[in-house]
Chains A and B, each alone.
Chain A
Amino acid sequence: MNYIGKSNLRVDAYGKVTGKAKYTADLAPKDSLIAKVLHSTIANGEVISMDVSAAKKVPGVVGVFTCFDVPDVEFPTAGHPWSTDPKHQDIADKKLLNQRVRFYGDDIAAVVAENDVAASQALKLIKVEYKEYPVHTDARSMLNDKDAMALHPNWRKDNVIAHTSFKSSDDFDYDKAKLKAIEEYGEENLIEVVKNVKTPRISHCHIELPVSYAYVDSNGKVTVVASTQLPHICRRVVAQALNIPWGKVRVIKPYIGGGFGNKQDMLYEPLNAWLSVKCGGKPVILEIPREDTMIGTRTRHPMDGDVRGLATKDGKLLCRELKNYSTNGGYAAHGHSITAKCAGIFQNLYKNPLGVNSEAWTVWTNAPTSAAMRAYGVPQAVSFAETLTDDICFKGGFDPLKFRLDNLCDENLVAGGVKFYTYGLKKCLEIGAEKIDWYKKREAYKNQIGPIRKGVGICSFIYQTAVAPIALETASVRMILNQDGSMQLSLGATEIGQGADTVFTQIAAESTGISPDKVYVISTQDTDVTPFDTGAYGSRQTYVTGNAIKECGLLLKKKICEYALLMEDEDGIKGKKLEDLDVSDNYVIDKNTMEKLIPLDKLSTTAFYSFTHNQHITAEKTTDITTNTFASGCTFVDLEVDMPLGIINIKDIISVHDSGTIINPALATAQVHGGMSMSLGYGMSEELILDPVTGKAYNNNMLDYKIPTAMDSPDFKVEFVVMKDPTGGYGNKALGEPPTVAPAVAVRNAVLNATGIGFNEFPLTAERLVHEFKAKGLI
């Protein structure tokens, strides 16, 4: 391969280091009106009345709009492909502004003004009268209150969005399996761990705020320029929310400053569009401040799981169970899909010879809405599964590496239509173990005493590359050959920082034979121009869109070769058949002799301007992918715990990924770094904390919410096990999200190794460490 597996520099890097790359706010017209949103100061209840008279009088205020003014339309916000089957459609439970308040920070009114000071002043002058109801900020407390009021009574009376149970067999029951195990092995030969694990509410913290501006164009089209991961889905949702035909909406997506799944939901684009319509179609910009972003957009689901696991004393895992309560917040957004994915990964990460039950509830609560965040429920899945494994190993005296090699799922795993077309999990573990010097360190760290202790830990994972076959996977790509032999690559899939445009360029180059410097990828998606793609989510684009690019590229190449056959006057063409020709390095070549026949620039100019064979050579391809392949990998950590202060110092950390062919190793490595950092935040410092009584967030700002700074970030090591996956366009599997899965739990397991304490609440803050160490008399 010529261009796959090469560390091409990012195609957008020059624009980004020179400040030329434009993001949404950079493009807003100078005369844009400024919108601001009023958020509720109660977590559960109703807006009885609003007095906006004083707000309207503030000089510069153009309009004040309340929950009593919006269309009576509830719409879904999830960035999922639409389903034509109503049973599979996302739950439509949110209005543009909500009179029924479901969480502290709900959107209840909006002000549009000529400047931001006027807008802020007007917001403060809106008087709101509420009727308040009791507050439940987490799933268990909501379910435990039998009298709890339904937040969305039209959908569910009990606030349970969904309850599922994934069992190894219909009649599996953990307790029965345990009795069977006792019978077979004897109770004295079994090890059981029973515990509860809690995971944190995490904020995405993309540095660019959620921002959009909207206007009605001269043809009456409602246009939204937005920092979104999925412009085509955004168009559909804006249309649904405004109750107008889908084609009447146009969404444009420039460069975006990170999304991480938050911008996989429609956040404020529908409201922004409506505000513009209400202001006569004038451009209105709506940028959500950081504080409001952290509560009013989306978060990672806090999950609360009861876990059980049983193994034999010689290290054979027998059966496991998870009962997981997932706090979804005030609106359904992605519904149960994240918790379900979590359940599936818990179930399938290990072989369960006596069976497994992975049960899950997703519950509406009076909390910020949880939805997609990088790795979609899988960090929580391994928080359950991989802490359970290490607790079993600790109790049984097993080596956690050997236990994993013996009990992890193998290459035969098939789950919900997903399988390992290539399997590199155990190879990843072997490489990681060697790099971290696992066995030597486990030996060296035995029987430590004193306040500073060292430990090594592992966490492994599996990850579904795309969302098929549960959901639709479809992507369209268009290629247009220019007169000089270069091409435009136009697609609905989006660059959100992950490097998509660069790998798309490489894939296009590989499949067409046109060199990457002559591939002009159109980075800005415009639903009126770019073909359809569901967008950047999952770890799907390089797999799904990549396949579409490959097929489109092969089609373009075929058309180029067909045209070459028409150019009979060119040396070497006469007598050639289509199957003799190929395109390589911007030439039509004889693939048998590798002889260069026609340069592409000449061919394209001829095609464009020929009187006899005039042709504009283009290709367009839509592919829907029905296969889905597991990626996998692991993280190893070596660390030191300063017990009196509860400080964890990471000395060495390495992630090893089985992601098939790596299209661009340098960008892939960089992406792994970012995922590792995000996971360490989840593992050690990040949690958005709510007052359980009022539902108000304590720390919804970048000072009090602790994403890692450079000083908190160790130097990351990264390796790949490269195996060509037969289903990936060029052998590739998921990589976008997997790096965010394992490091947190590897840290937790290393702390267990160091101190003998297995922490079950993430993040492992110093305060939690000190509390446990004191309780156990260790400090």
Chain B
Amino acid sequence: MFDISFLYEAKDVKDAIKKLVENENSEIVSGGTDVLIRVREGKDAGMGLVSIHNISELKGVSIENDGTIVIGAGTSFHDITNDDIIKKYIPSLAEAVDTIGGPQIRETGTIGGNICNGATSADSASTMVALDACIVLEGPEGERIVDIKDFYTGPGKTVRDRCEVCKCFKIKKENYENYFGYYFKYGKRKSLEIATLGCSVLVKLNATKDAIDDVKIAYGVAAPTPSRAVSAEEYVRGKKLVDKNLLDTFADKALSDMKPRNSWRASKEFREQLIKEMAKRSLVNSIRRAGGKIEYYV
């Protein structure tokens, strides 16, 4: 049994907020794949759980008239990967969440939890950062929308208040239209992994598909929070695909934007090598998906 003081099944978002406000020592549980483990470890033992597990308004993916894609925070990774809208417009997100844990975890784990736990290693995070997603939060004071670049404040920390429910994520059309992406997860094994490093790239090529219009590259675990490599992005804009220095310089710039550290999981030296090599491979794969031709050994 889990050492919790209560379990409350919220009827809707407002109900959840009310319960959270009433009980200082309580937190939200959605899929349970993080929170229940923290309870078992003793970190969150004794807390009350306000469950948003069965709130249907938080689930599913839709597209608004202006092309904005809306992903319910309670949508499971499995459902995102298999969603037609996601597959059509942002397949790299489908791929990214399909690398989380194993299939069983992806069945119950939700994207809301993955983003809100604040982990730099969260596999959805780097792609959402690359997509410039917005996060819709609702709290006792009402609703607010936060850009993902302003969302993370430190390792495991976000601007979300304990009493705020993450309702959904919005991705504007201009942030995905004509972009082709690739998510590269590097782990010590091929599945059931926490990322040693994650790298998500989105590329927009010019009309003749021989030069780069725009690139967005974001990493997980290369810094305390999921982060964009801004100078690398700036460097490649407008560059021709035949440019011999394109990949190496892109990788060097990406590395200069990141702050990898030493830990027992991976040395700084190793992470640096991964940051560079994954930048290249993710860019190459994205370019190829966009219909561009670029030479590389993989």
- Measured CB to CB, the residues of A under 8 A from B are 115-117, 120-121, 124, 450-452, 642, 644-646, 685, 689, 691, 698-699, 702-704, 706, 708-712, 765-767, 770-771, 774, 779
Complex interface residues of chain B between 27 and 47 (CB less than 8 A to chain A): 42, 45
> What residues of chain A lie closer than 8 Å to B274, measured between beta carbons?
645
Partner of A450, one of B186, B265, B297: B297
Partner of B102, one of A117, A120, A451, A709: A709
Residue contact A644 to B273, C-beta cutoff 8 Å: yes
Residue in B closest to A450 when the chains form the complex, CB atoms: B297
Task: Report the bound CA distance from A121 to B46 in whole Å.
Answer: 9
Task: Report the bound CA distance from A646 to B273 in whole Å.
Answer: 10
> What residues of chain A lie closer than 8 Å to B270, measured between beta carbons?
646, 766-767, 770-771
Task: Report the bound CA distance from A351 to B216 in whole Å.
Answer: 61
> What residues of chain B lie closer than 8 Å to A709, measured between beta carbons?
102, 189-192
Residue contact A645 to B192, C-beta cutoff 8 Å: no
> What residues of chain B lie closer than 8 Å to A689, measured between beta carbons?
264
> What residues of chain A lie closer than 8 Å to B273, measured between beta carbons?
644-645, 770, 774, 779
> What residues of chain A lie closer than 8 Å to B264, measured between beta carbons?
689, 691, 698-699
> What residues of chain A lie closer than 8 Å to B188, measured between beta carbons?
685, 706, 765-766
At the interface, yes or no: B207 with Cβ under 8 Å from chain A?
A: no
Given contacts A645-B274, A711-B189, A712-B189, contact A452 B297 (CB under 8 A): yes
Residue contact B269 to A120, C-beta cutoff 8 Å: no
> What residues of chain A lie closer than 8 Å to B189, measured between beta carbons?
685, 706, 708-709, 711-712
The 5 closest A-B pairs by CB, nearest first: A711-B190, A767-B270, A644-B277, A709-B191, A698-B264
Residue contact A120 to B191, C-beta cutoff 8 Å: no
Task: Report the bound CA distance from A771 to B274 in whole Å.
Answer: 12
> What residues of chain B lie closer than 8 Å to A117, measured between beta carbons?
1-3
Residue contact A642 to B3, C-beta cutoff 8 Å: no
> What residues of chain B lie closer than 8 Å to A712, measured between beta carbons?
189-191
> What residues of chain B lie closer than 8 Å to A116, measured between beta carbons?
1
At the interface, yes or no: B25 with Cβ under 8 Å from chain A?
A: no
The minimal Cβ–Cβ distance linking B131 to chain A, given in whole angstroms, is: 25
> What residues of chain B lie closer than 8 Å to A765, measured between beta carbons?
188
> What residues of chain B lie closer than 8 Å to A691, measured between beta carbons?
264
Residue contact A771 to B192, C-beta cutoff 8 Å: no
The minimal Cβ–Cβ distance linking A625 to chain B, given in whole angstroms, is: 41
> What residues of chain A lie closer than 8 Å to B42, measured between beta carbons?
120, 124
> What residues of chain B lie closer than 8 Å to A703, measured between beta carbons?
192-194
> What residues of chain B lie closer than 8 Å to A452, measured between beta carbons?
297-298
Interface centre among B42, B192, B264 (most CB of A within 10 A): B192
Task: Report the bound CA distance from A301 to B292 in whole Å.
Answer: 52
What are 28 contact pairs spanning A and B, CB under 8 A?
A115-B1, A117-B2, A117-B3, A450-B297, A644-B273, A645-B274, A645-B277, A685-B188, A689-B264, A691-B264, A698-B264, A699-B264, A702-B192, A703-B192, A706-B188, A709-B189, A709-B191, A710-B191, A711-B189, A765-B188, A766-B188, A767-B270, A770-B269, A770-B270, A770-B273, A771-B270, A774-B269, A779-B273
Interface centre among A124, A645, A691, A710 (most CB of B within 10 A): A645
> What residues of chain B lie closer than 8 Å to A704, measured between beta carbons?
194, 265
> What residues of chain A lie closer than 8 Å to B269, measured between beta carbons?
770-771, 774
Task: Report the bound CA distance from A766 to B190 in whole Å.
Answer: 12
Residue contact B3 to A121, C-beta cutoff 8 Å: yes
Interface class of chain B by DSSP: loop
> What residues of chain A lie closer than 8 Å to B191, measured between beta carbons?
709-712
Given contacts A709-B192, A711-B190, A767-B270, contact A120 B277 (CB under 8 A): no
Task: Report the bound CA distance from A74 to B2 in whole Å.
Answer: 36
The minimal Cβ–Cβ distance linking B206 to chain A, given in whole angstroms, is: 29
Tally of contacts, chain A with chain B, CB under 8 A: 67
At the interface, yes or no: B242 with Cβ under 8 Å from chain A?
A: no
The minimal Cβ–Cβ distance linking B13 to chain A, given in whole angstroms, is: 30
Residue in B closest to A647 when the chains form the complex, CB atoms: B186
Task: Report the bound CA distance from A702 to B188 in whole Å.
Answer: 13
Please give 14 more A-B residue pairs, beta carbons under 8 A apart, in addition to A116-B1, A702-B192, A703-B194.
A117-B2, A121-B45, A124-B42, A645-B273, A645-B274, A691-B264, A704-B194, A706-B189, A709-B189, A711-B190, A767-B270, A770-B270, A771-B269, A771-B270
Residue in B closest to A452 when the chains form the complex, CB atoms: B297
Partner of A451, one of B45, B192, B278, B297: B297
Interface centre among A117, A644, A646 (most CB of B within 10 A): A644
Residue contact A767 to B194, C-beta cutoff 8 Å: no
Task: Report the bound CA distance from A699 to B192 in whole Å.
Answer: 14
Task: Report the bound CA distance from A771 to B269 in whole Å.
Answer: 8
The minimal Cβ–Cβ distance linking B117 to chain A, given in whole angstroms, is: 15
The minimal Cβ–Cβ distance linking B281 to chain A, given in whole angstroms, is: 8
At the interface, yes or no: B178 with Cβ under 8 Å from chain A?
A: no
> What residues of chain A lie closer than 8 Å to B278, measured between beta carbons?
645
At the interface, yes or no: B266 with Cβ under 8 Å from chain A?
A: yes
Task: Report the bound CA distance from A450 to B277 in whole Å.
Answer: 14
Residue contact B1 to A767, C-beta cutoff 8 Å: no
At the interface, yes or no: B82 with Cβ under 8 Å from chain A?
A: no
Residue contact B1 to A645, C-beta cutoff 8 Å: no
Task: Report the bound CA distance from A710 to B103 in whole Å.
Answer: 12
Task: Report the bound CA distance from A646 to B186 in whole Å.
Answer: 11
At the interface, yes or no: B54 with Cβ under 8 Å from chain A?
A: no
> What residues of chain A lie closer than 8 Å to B3, measured between beta carbons?
117, 120-121
The minimal Cβ–Cβ distance linking B33 to chain A, given in whole angstroms, is: 12
At the interface, yes or no: B153 with Cβ under 8 Å from chain A?
A: no
The minimal Cβ–Cβ distance linking A124 to chain B, given in whole angstroms, is: 7
Given contacts A685-B189, A708-B189, A709-B190, contact A767 B266 (CB under 8 A): yes
> What residues of chain B lie closer than 8 Å to A702, measured between beta carbons?
192
Task: Report the bound CA distance from A644 to B248 in whole Å.
Answer: 13
- Residues 87-104 of chain B, each 1 if its beta carbon lies under 8 Å from chain A, else 0: 000000000000000100
At the interface, yes or no: B231 with Cβ under 8 Å from chain A?
A: no
Task: Report the bound CA distance from A685 to B189 in whole Å.
Answer: 8
Task: Report the bound CA distance from A121 to B102 in whole Å.
Answer: 31
Task: Report the bound CA distance from A685 to B191 in whole Å.
Answer: 13
The minimal Cβ–Cβ distance linking A589 to chain B, given in whole angstroms, is: 55
> What residues of chain A lie closer than 8 Å to B192, measured between beta carbons?
702-703, 709
At the interface, yes or no: B56 with Cβ under 8 Å from chain A?
A: no
Residue in A closest to B277 when the chains form the complex, CB atoms: A644
Task: Report the bound CA distance from A712 to B265 in whole Å.
Answer: 19
The minimal Cβ–Cβ distance linking A166 to chain B, given in whole angstroms, is: 36
Complex interface residues of chain B between 179 and 227 (CB less than 8 A to chain A): 186, 188-194
Task: Report the bound CA distance from A120 to B42 in whole Å.
Answer: 9
At the interface, yes or no: B267 with Cβ under 8 Å from chain A?
A: yes
The minimal Cβ–Cβ distance linking A157 to chain B, given in whole angstroms, is: 34
> What residues of chain B lie closer than 8 Å to A450, measured between beta carbons?
297
Residue in B closest to A644 when the chains form the complex, CB atoms: B277
> What residues of chain A lie closer than 8 Å to B267, measured between beta carbons?
767, 771
Complex interface residues of chain B between 248 and 276 (CB less than 8 A to chain A): 264-267, 269-270, 273-274
Task: Report the bound CA distance from A770 to B193 in whole Å.
Answer: 20
Task: Report the bound CA distance from A451 to B273 in whole Å.
Answer: 14
> What residues of chain A lie closer than 8 Å to B265, measured between beta carbons?
704
The minimal Cβ–Cβ distance linking B41 to chain A, given in whole angstroms, is: 9
Task: Report the bound CA distance from A691 to B263 in whole Å.
Answer: 11
Task: Report the bound CA distance from A646 to B274 in whole Å.
Answer: 9
Residue in A closest to B187 when the chains form the complex, CB atoms: A706
The minimal Cβ–Cβ distance linking A207 to chain B, given in whole angstroms, is: 14
The minimal Cβ–Cβ distance linking B266 to chain A, given in whole angstroms, is: 6
Given contacts A121-B3, A774-B273, contact A645 B186 (CB under 8 A): yes
